[in-house]
């Protein structure tokens, strides 16, 4: 006959796994964030870290109490509707669409019920994403840097650095949503008595071809517009500008850090952090309709003095004095 104490031990041993399994079965499912991006993951590792930091500030840590499903268009923006639809089928709790309006527009077209948090450079009202900044309405809110309104400002800064340049160019992503930026640049060019030639690109190969045409047209300086394609290819852009001795101004500090001459714009890192914060707030139960669209309030001028010297440029002391950072 089996000893009672031995029987009790075997019973406990056999029944022990049932308790954790039952406990796990009663735990609520981990919420899932869908992350929709027009570009690729490799060039934005620091921005993904900022997004996760924002989530952490609201109490969410990836792998512990929240999961993230990533969908990358890898600069093939025509794939965004399909990727957005996939996240909707996955029934994610919220869709983060940082970095551009094209991803946000695709997400909104895919769902009117799942919350969407964007970060973008353009006007979200003009893009049809929200009804107003203070009361977005619907299922969409986010962060707008109004980066596309800074074209004439960037042109003015570049003109200050190369006052004798007559022919300017801008490189724009081939998408109608960037047309307001082109118009803003043309207004700025008229105000300083210069002309701006427009070049378009939708792939990294297009970027090479555009620079070749700029050289043929004797372009003297370039204003680079914002967008995921250019963010992903910032080293290529800085290298081409240096190779062809073309002074250029870019939309964010990442370009100046990659060897670009100068940049002026909001902090993209901060935009991604704020996107993470808003996603966390939505997961906690706040509705996008009640979360005002945030606007960037701080813009930074970064000058790469090493690149300026390589291009044979003397940066005016007045411009250096206004720089938020000078890269030696």
Q: How many domains does the chain have?
A: 2
- Scanning 192-233, the segments in alpha helix (DSSP H) are 204-216, 228-232
Identify the pLDDT of residue 175.
Answer: 82
| 152-201: pLDDT as tens digits | 999 999 999 999 999 999 999 988 878 888 888 999 999 999 999 999 99
Residues 168 and 288 in one domain: no
For residue 249, give the CATH number of its domain. Answer: 3.40.50.2300
Identify the pLDDT of residue 14.
Answer: 44
Identify the pLDDT of residue 23.
Answer: 44
> Cα(101)–Cα(98) distance, rounded to whole angstroms?
8
> Cα(215)–Cα(220) distance, rounded to whole angstroms?
9
Residues 207 and 152 in one domain: yes
Considering the entire predicted model, what is its pTM?
A: 0.83
Residues 179 and 206 in one domain: yes
Residues 106 and 65 in one domain: yes
Residues 197 and 306 in one domain: yes
Residues 208 and 320 in one domain: yes
Q: What angle do CA 156, 220, 154 make, to 5 degrees?
A: 20
Residue 25 lies in a domain: no
Residue 162 lies in a domain: yes
* Domain span holding position 276: 32-145+267-295
| 125-144: pLDDT as tens digits | 988 999 999 999 999 999 99
Instruction: Flag the least confident range among 80-89, 113-122, 144-153.
Output: 144-153
Residue 91 lies in a domain: yes
CB of 169 within 8 A of CB of 214?
Answer: yes
> Cα(251)–Cα(122) distance, rounded to whole angstroms?
13
| 267-300: pLDDT as tens digits | 999 999 999 999 999 999 999 999 999 998 889 9
| Angle subtended by helix axes 234-243 and 204-216, to nearest 10 | 20
Residues 192 and 232 in one domain: yes
Residues 220 and 275 in one domain: no
Residues 109 and 135 in one domain: yes
């Amino acid at each position: 006959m089996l000893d009672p104490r031995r029987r009790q031990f075997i019973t406990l041993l056999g029944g022990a796994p049932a308790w954790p399994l039952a406990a796990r079965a009663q735990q609520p499912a981990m919420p899932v964030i869908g992350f929709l991006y027009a570009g690729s993951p490799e060039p934005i590792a620091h921005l993904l870290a900022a997004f996760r930091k924002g989530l952490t500030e609201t109490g969410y840590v990836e792998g512990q109490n929240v999961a993230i499903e990533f969908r990358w268009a890898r600069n093939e923006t025509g794939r965004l509707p399909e990727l957005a639809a996939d996240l909707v089928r996955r029934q994610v709790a919220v869709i983060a669409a940082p970095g551009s309006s094209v991803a946000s527009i695709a997400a909104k077209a895919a769902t009117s019920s799942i919350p969407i948090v964007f970060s973008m450079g353009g006007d979200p009202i003009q893009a049809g994403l929200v009804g107003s900044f203070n009361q977005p309405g619907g299922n969409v809110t986010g962060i707008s840097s109004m980066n596309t309104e800074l074209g004439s400002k960037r042109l003015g800064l570049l003109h200050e650095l190369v006052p004798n340049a007559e022919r300017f160019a801008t490189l724009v992503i081939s998408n109608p949503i960037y047309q307001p930026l082109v118009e803003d640049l043309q207004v700025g060019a008229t105000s300083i008595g210069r002309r701006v030639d427009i070049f378009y690109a939708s792939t990294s190969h297009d970027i090479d071809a555009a620079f070749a045409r700029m050289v043929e047209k004797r372009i003297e300086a370039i204003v680079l517009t914002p967008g995921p394609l250019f963010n992903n290819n910032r080293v290529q852009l800085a290298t081409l500008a240096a190779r062809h001795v073309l002074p250029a101004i870019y939309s964010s500090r990442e370009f100046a850090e990659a060897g670009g001459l100068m940049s002026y714009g909001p902090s993209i890192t901060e935009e991604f952090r704020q996107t993470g914060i808003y996603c966390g707030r939505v997961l906690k139960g706040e509705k996008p309709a009640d979360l005002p669209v945030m606007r960037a309030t701080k813009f930074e001028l970064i000058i790469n003095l090493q690149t300026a010297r390589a291009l044979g440029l003397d940066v005016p002391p007045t411009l250096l004095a206004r720089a938020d950072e000078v890269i030696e």
